[in-house]
Chain A
Amino acid sequence: MSTGNAMGHFLNEIEKFDDQQAGTQPAWVGTLREFAAERFDQLGFPSTKHEEWRWTNISSVSQGHFAYSAQPANLDEPEILRSALRSALGEVSGPRVVLVNGSFSPALSDLGANIKGLRLLSLAEALEESDPRVEAHLCRYANSNELAFAALNTAFLKDGAVIEIDESACIDAPICIVSLISASKKSDLSLASYPRLLILAGSNSRATVVESTINLGEAESFLNTVSEVVVDEGASLTHVRLQNTNRQNLQVSTLQARLAEQSRYALTTFSLGGALTRNDLTVKLAGPEASCEVNGLCLLQQKQHVDNNVIVDHAVPECTSSQIFKAVLDDESRSIFSGKVIVQPDAQKTFAEQSNRSLLLSDRAESDSRPQLEIYADDVKCSHGATTGSLNEEALFYLRSRGISPETARVLLTEAFAREIADNIELESLREHVLQLLREKLGEDAVEAVA
C-alpha cells in the first residue's frame, strides 16, 4: 500500500470526477465506476513488495500531482494537428478515432461510416446509448476486483473507443486509435487521462487495429489505459500498439484479450517513448485451437523504464501461443519482461513458446527477464529462452572494414536486431512507419555519438 496522502489525492480526484458526471451517464455505468472506486481504495497502489511489481516502482505515479482533465491545450492549430497525426500514424490510413487526453475528438476522427461490417465510435457515445454489445462486454475482462490500475481507470470510466466488427466482416483498412496527450505546462497539476478501448471482433471476421499514443509538447502526464479485446470464433485480429510518448510520460496499460475457438490474435507492442511504462497484457485462450502471438519491442535510452508483464492463459486444449519480446537498451535504461504461461489442467496438446532477447548498448543498462511456466496438464509442449548480449564485435569490424563509420555500423546492427519484430507486421504502410520510427530513434544515438 502507498501512503494515505497519495491515495487521498487520487480518491479526491475520483470524487470530483464522480460529481461532474452526476446524472450524465446511465445507471449501470455509475455502478461500474462506484465498484471500481471502492476496489481501488481497498487495493491501493501496488508497491515493489508485490511480486508482480518487484522491478517497477510506481511512486512517481502515486506521489505525483495528477489531475483528470479532458481539456486539451494548444489544439486549435490545424498544422499542429496534422503533424501530430502524421507522427502518430505515418502513411497508415484508415478509419480512426482520435482521443485527446482520453476524450473523443469528433473533429479529428473519421469513423469510416461507409465501411461495411465496422462500427467505430467513441465509448462516451456507446455508454450514452447503452449499446447492448458494449454493456455485455465492458469491464468483463479487465479485472477491477484485483488490478488496482484497472480499477483506477474504471473509476474514471467515461470515454475512449469502441470497435465492433460484424460477424464474417473482413475489414481491409487498418482501424486506427490515436491517443494524443496535450498537457498544459502552466498548471501546477500534471495531466492524467484514463481512456478505455473495447474491441469486439465478431466470429470469422478479420481486421487490423493500430493504436498509437503520442504527446504534444514536453509536459509531464500520466496515462492509465484499459483495453478489452474479445475475439469470437474463427476471427482473426491483428493488433499493433505504438507507444511513442515524450520522456515525461508515465503509462500503465492493462490489456485483456479473450479468444474463442479457432480464433487468432496477434498483438505487437512497440515501446519507444515514455519515462516509465508498464504493460499488463493478458491473453486467455478460451476456445480450442485458438492461437495467439504476443510480441514486443522496447527501444530505450537515458533512464527510460519499460515493464512488460505478459500472461498467456491456456484454459482449453489444443491452443498455440508464442511470445517474442526484444529490448534494445542504451544509457541507463531498463527493461523488464515477465512472461507467464499458464496451462490449465484440461489444456492438453498445448503448444507454447516464449523468447526474450535483450541487446545492451551500454554497461549501465539493465535487462531483467522472468519467464514462468505454470503447467497443470501433461501432454504439452512449452519452451522458453532468454538471452542478453551486446553488439557483435566481429560484425562491427566487418562493416567498418568496408568503410562504414562505427556509428552507422552500430545503427545497422541494432536495427537488424530490432527489426525482426517490425518485419512481422503485414501491413506495409505500418511496417514502414514503425521502421522509420526505429531509425529515427536509433539515429538520435548516432548523432549523439558523433557530437
Chain B
Amino acid sequence: MLEIKDVHATVGGSEILNGLSLTVNPGEVHAIMGPNGSGKSTLSNVITGRDGYEVTQGSLSFEGKNLLEMPPEIRAREGIFLSFQYPVEIPGVNNTYFLKAALNAKREHHGLEALDAIDFLDLAKEKRELVELDEKLANRNVNEGFSGGEKKRNEIFQMAVLEPKLAILDEVDSGLDIDALRVIAKGINSLRSPERSMILITHYQRLLDYIQPDFIHVLSEGRIVRSGGKELALELEEKGYSWLEKEPAA
C-alpha cells in the first residue's frame, strides 16, 4: 500500500530524513518511535505533502501511484489521513460544514455522488459516538476553544468520517489523560480493518499498550535503525533510545 524507498528530505535546506525506507501493507499497524528530532513528524509531513518539505532523493508510492506528484488534497482524496499532533484552530469555519465539504470532495474524486445534508448528519452522528464527541463540539468552529483531548477526539472523528486507507496518527496520545487516551484508543481500534493501515507516531511506549502495532520501527537521525515486533517497545522502555542510535540501519 505505502512504499517508501530511500527517502531523503530537507526542511529549510537541512536534511532531516536520510535514506528512510518503509513498506506498509493493507491492514498493518506500524509504530514509528524515536527521540525528539529523529524525523518522526517530518515523515508524516512528507507523506501528506506539506509545503516546505522537499524530497531530494528516493521515492514514495501509495497503491502504486507516485505520491510526490500529488498535492496534499489529492493524497487525502486517495485515502491518506493525518491526525495532527497539534490540530489547528480555525475560527469561523464550521466543523460539520468543513467535514462535509472534505468528504464530498473525496467522494467526487472517486466518482461518487455527494452526500446531502441529511445523510451526512446521520453519518456524522454514528461516527461521533465512536469517540464520544459531543454534538455541540462537533458543530462548533474547527477546534476553536477545544481542550487538548477534544481536539484529538475531533481528529479521530474526522478520520472515522473520511474512512482513509492509510491513517497517520502523529503523537495521538500527547496531552491526553488516561481516560481520554482510553476513549481515543477505543475509537482507533474500532477503525482497524484488513483494508486499513495505520502508522502510529509516538515518543512513548504507553500508547502501544492501548493500540497494539504489528511492527515497531525506531527512527534515529532520519533513518529507521531498528525494526521489530511488539517486544521491541518493551526493550526501548527499559533501555531508552540511546543504545540504538549508533547501530547501523536495520
Contact = CB atoms under 8 A, between A and B. Distances in A.
B87 A404 contact: no
A416 interface: yes
B51 A393 contact: yes
Contacts of B103: 403
B93 interface: yes
Given A393-B51, A398-B84, A406-B73, A416 B101 contact: no
Contact of B105 (A395, A404, A415, A419): A404
B93 A412 contact: yes
Contacts of B102: 399, 402-404
Interface residues of A, number: 22
A400 B90 contact: no
B69 to A, nearest CB: 16
B77 A416 contact: no
A102 to B, nearest CB: 37
Interface in A366-418: 392-395, 397-406, 408, 412-413, 415-417
A436 to B, nearest CB: 15
B139 to A, nearest CB: 15
A420 interface: yes
B76 A402 contact: yes
B65 interface: no
Contact of A397 (B72, B105, B158): B72
A399 B103 CA distance: 12
A413 B141 CA distance: 11
B106 interface: yes
Interface string B146-182: 0000000000001000100000000000000000000
A429 B72 CA distance: 37
Contact of A412 (B73, B87, B98, B158): B98
Given A394-B88, A397-B51, A402 B93 contact: no
B92 A401 contact: no
Interface residues of B, number: 29
A405 B73 CA distance: 6
B50 interface: yes
Given A401-B76, A402-B76, A403-B73, A395 B162 contact: no
B91 A416 contact: yes
B37 interface: no
B70 to A, nearest CB: 11
B109 interface: yes
A419 B92 contact: yes
B93 A416 contact: yes
Given A397-B72, A408-B101, A412-B98, A402 B92 contact: no
B48 interface: yes
Interface in B34-67: 48, 50-51
B22 interface: no
Contacts of B87: 398
Contacts of A415: 92
Nearest to B141: A416
Interface string A410-441: 00110111011000000000000000000000
A401 B82 contact: yes
B92 A397 contact: no
A412 B72 CA distance: 17
Nearest to A398: B88
B145 interface: no
B115 to A, nearest CB: 14
Contact of B90 (A395, A401, A405, A408): A395
B99 interface: yes
Contact of A402 (B50, B109, B158): B158
A408 B51 CA distance: 17
Contacts of A412: 93, 98, 101
Contacts of B81: 401-402
Contacts of A401: 48, 50, 72-73, 76, 81-82, 84
Given A406-B73, A413-B93, 10 more contacts: A398-B87, A400-B72, A401-B73, A401-B76, A403-B73, A403-B77, A403-B103, A403-B106, A417-B92, A419-B92
Q: A-B pairs with the 10 shortest C-beta distances?
A: A416-B92, A403-B76, A402-B102, A400-B72, A398-B88, A403-B105, A400-B73, A403-B77, A403-B106, A416-B93
